[in-house]
Amino acid sequence: MSNNATNQIGLEKADISEVIAKLNGLLSSYHMFYINVRGYHWNVKGEHFFSLHEQFEELYTNLQVEIDEIAERILTLGGTPLHAYSDFAEHTRISEDKNVKDGNSCAQGVVTGLQSLIEEQREVSELAEKAEDQGTADLVDDYIQQQEKLVWMYNAFLAN
């Protein structure tokens, strides 16, 4: 099944190289978002501290799993996942959100980060489908569905 033109799972290397690059960008964005959410968890203050503190912990715990799944998908495709903070900072689409303490500001940061991930994942999915990489498309499509619901829920909290 495999030859010099295909990777270990039978996908064309030329087609899949761009998918790997996009996945590494997504991996970088996930890492930056994870760091932001950890900051929200640690630093949130105010009226909704207890509920938000717990929600942020649940979110960053899920992000850890997704980060690992994205890195493993890159490896499955024959690529090498980025793993240095400097690489993440260079390739992310999400900005650092420093010193945010107000609960509403933290929740808005979550919404903004999720919206960015959703947009990036839609691009990855479209590119993966063109490369006949259904595994990658399915992976990010599942994330999109979960994250769209979270956007709705956090916006309901914010009364947006």
Encode the chain (160 residues) as per-residue pLDDT tens digits. 446 798 999 999 888 999 999 999 999 999 999 999 999 999 999 999 999 999 999 999 999 999 999 999 999 999 999 999 999 999 999 999 999 999 999 999 999 999 999 999 999 999 999 999 999 999 999 999 999 999 999 999 999 7
Structural contact between residues 118 and 147, judged by C-beta atoms closer than 8 angstroms: yes
Residue 37 is assigned to a structural domain of this protein: yes
Nearest C-alpha neighbor of 118 from the set 4, 26, 11:
26
Can you read off the two tokens belonging to residue 33?
Answer: 């978002």
Residue 94 is assigned to a structural domain of this protein: yes
CATH label of the domain that carries residue 28: 1.20.1260.10
Reported as half-sphere exposure (CB side, CA atoms, 13 A), residue 106 has a value of: 29
Q: Give me the domain span that covers residue 114.
A: 13-158
Q: What CA–CA distance (Å, rounded) separates 59 from 36?
A: 11
What DSSP designation does 45 have? B
- The H or E element containing residue 66 is helix 49-76
Question: What residues contact residue 133 under an 8 Å CB cut-off, 6+ apart?
Answer: 11, 15, 16, 19, 77
Separation of first and last alpha carbons in the chain: 52
Residue 121 is assigned to a structural domain of this protein: yes
Question: What residues contact residue 36 under an 8 Å CB cut-off, 6+ apart?
Answer: 94, 96, 97, 109, 113
Domain count, the chain: 1
Residue 147 is assigned to a structural domain of this protein: yes
* pLDDT, tens digit, 9 for 90 and up, residues 72-112: 999 999 999 999 999 999 999 999 999 999 999 999 999 99
Q: Is 51 helix (H, G, I), strand (E, B) or coil?
A: helix
